[in-house]
Structure 1
Amino acid sequence: MKWGSTPSQTVGPYLSLGLPWEDGPFVVPEGTEGAVWIRGVVYDGAGDPVPDALIETWQADPDGGFDHPDDPRGHGGPEFRGFGRCPTDGAGAYRICTVLPGAVPAENGALQAPHLDVSVFARGLLHRVVTRIYFEDQDNSGDAVLASVPEDRRETLLARRTDEGYRFDVHLQGEGETVFFAV
């Protein structure tokens, strides 16, 4: 007997059964010195909000160190976990409470601009998509990854400053599609 491969499954909508947890959106506790909110909406290719997506973030601490045993540079203290996870609500909105990351070294020794690594899980996707959040009010000029993106698409990777922190919308397809990276 010959067995065929298992058919591919889409990421959602069943991610809500096991991936989110109550304090998932808090990379740092609310009220932490320097804490900011990153808020946004996930949109599908038609421009409609995606109410059953999930955003995951992974980032360095303000000094550029990761909360990981392989990083000897530290991890921002006991309140910083470096990882956030937030499902979208009925309006497609997500929120992450964090601190701005520091610059981290690239493979060639140069520094990467402060950024968050982001995974997006959503219905219709066979695999997560991966992007980055850079900050419009930080020096992004020397970042090789951002420089590799066509200039007219870089704005899709920039979080905009608001009165409440930063805004970063994710467009899965269509007009203003967010740049996603093959990892």
Structure 2
Amino acid sequence: MSDTQTTPSQTVGPFFAIGLPWEDGHLIVDEDVPEAFDVIGKVLDGAGEPVPDALIEVWQADPDGRFDHPADPRGAVAREGFRGFGRCPTDEGGRFRVRTVKPGPLPAEDGVQAPHLNVSVFCRGMLVRLVTRIYFADEPGNAEDPVLLSIPDPARRRTLIADPAPFGYRFDIHLQGDDETVFFDL
């Protein structure tokens, strides 16, 4: 009989914590941008328990609806203090915070997309990232957004809506369970 032990064939861990986060990664805009606000929330598992080792990645348009990316056909973003991208690890309570500004509406093939943040979630036990969006509850364009309207159940659409709060907006990400956030298959 051998003294060696079987090891898991798929080890998934919080290895992204080694190189992906950076000190001011939660700042999608500089702290002192006048219209900046925070989006604060938690990543929760299927039992409603916090996920302390997740990483939230956010990519967004600027207030004019343009991305800071060379492939944006409307031209490069020239807004002082705007990165358009950020990464934030969750803390021991599953909490995350990003500092941002409200993006502008985006043109789409089938209408106009309401202002939103594109979000990827990485965490233990997942071999691929989860992709979702954060919309803002006080945006009238939500009622016409083609992506939100593609979700047939209004209760499920609600899982993509951030609520206003004194600091900006509150948004929790539920990985499973009754309140599971809508994730997109990209």
* Structure 2 length-normalised TM: 0.90
1:13-162 correspondence runs (5 A): 13-71=14-72, 72-108=74-110, 110-139=111-140, 140-149=142-151, 150-162=153-165
Distance 2:80 2:39 in 1: 21
* Amino acid in the other structure paired with 2:182: V
The 3 A distance-change label for structure 1 pair 107 and 180 is same
Give, in angstroms, the shift of residue 171 of structure 1. 0.3
* Structure 1 length-normalised TM: 0.92
My pick for the range that moved more, 119-128 or 68-77, is 68-77
Contact 1:62–1:76 (Cα < 8 Å) also in 2: no
Kindly provide the CA deviation profile for residues 71-128 of structure 1, in whole angstroms up to 9, marking residues without a partner as x.
23442513111001000001100000000000011134x2100001000001111100
Asked if residue 163 in structure 1 is aligned to residue 166 in structure 2, the reply is yes
Distance 1:9 1:111 in 2: 41
Asked if residue 180 in structure 1 is aligned to residue 183 in structure 2, the reply is yes
* Amino acid in the other structure paired with 1:154: R
| Percent of pairs with identical residues | 58
Kindly provide the CA deviation profile for residues 31-76 of structure 1, in whole angstroms up to 9, marking residues without a partner as x.
2021010000000111100000000000000000000112234425
Give, in angstroms, the shift of residue 141 of structure 1. 1.2
Length, aligned pairs only: 175
Compute the RMSD of aligned alpha carbons: 1.2
Give, in angstroms, the shift of residue 9 of structure 1. 4.4
Distance 1:76 1:94 in 2: 28
